[in-house]
Amino acid sequence: MIIRFKNKAEYEAIDRLIEKYYEGMTSVEEEKRLQAFLSRTGLPEKYAPEQAMFGYFNSKKAKKHVSLPKYIRWAAGAAAVVTMMVTVQLFTVSAPTNYAYVNGQKITDIDRIKSEAIASLHGVSSGEQYVEEGISNLNNSQIIEEQLDVFSAFE
């Protein structure tokens, strides 16, 4: 008889907790007590709706959180950064600018740059003249003696 009295008092306390729960007035400890009670087997049928509700919450808590492996998250982050950099590069491409410095002045007119380049190429003499002068100087003994005198001064 004492067992029935304990169960009856416990059921009344649980009934008050359920009412309090539906009113949103329970504390965390009271909800844990209610959850522990409703997770038991062999309870009266009147607790079936609450058992189903708390069982649903427990099943949601029990589900494992699926996360991507660390290297996939790093790869996704790197891909996002590369995509952003390419996008920025595509939208910030400026028109190509041609320029040259002639006698210390910056020239941006393409026609003038071409004419200056051609003029400077015409100013370069052919290399044949310098080669012939060098060969003739090899046979000139006076130039050889002057160069030897210059180097002998360093001894």
Q: What digits encode the pLDDT tens for the residues 77-108?
A: 888 999 999 888 877 766 667 778 888 888 88
DSSP assignment string, 100-146: EEETTEEE--HHHHHHHHHHHHHHSPPHHHHHHHHHHHHT-HHHHHH
How far is residue 20 CA from its own chain's centroid? 50
DSSP assignment string, 19-55: HHHHTT---HHHHHHHHHHHTSSS--GGGHHHHHHHH
Q: What digits encode the pLDDT tens for the residues 27-60?
A: 888 888 888 888 887 888 888 888 878 775 555 5
What's this model's pTM, rounded to 2 decimal places?
0.35
User: What is the Cα–Cα distance from 82 to 134, expressed in whole angstroms?
Assistant: 59
Report whether 128 contacts 122 (CB < 8 A): no
Mean pLDDT of 114-140: 71
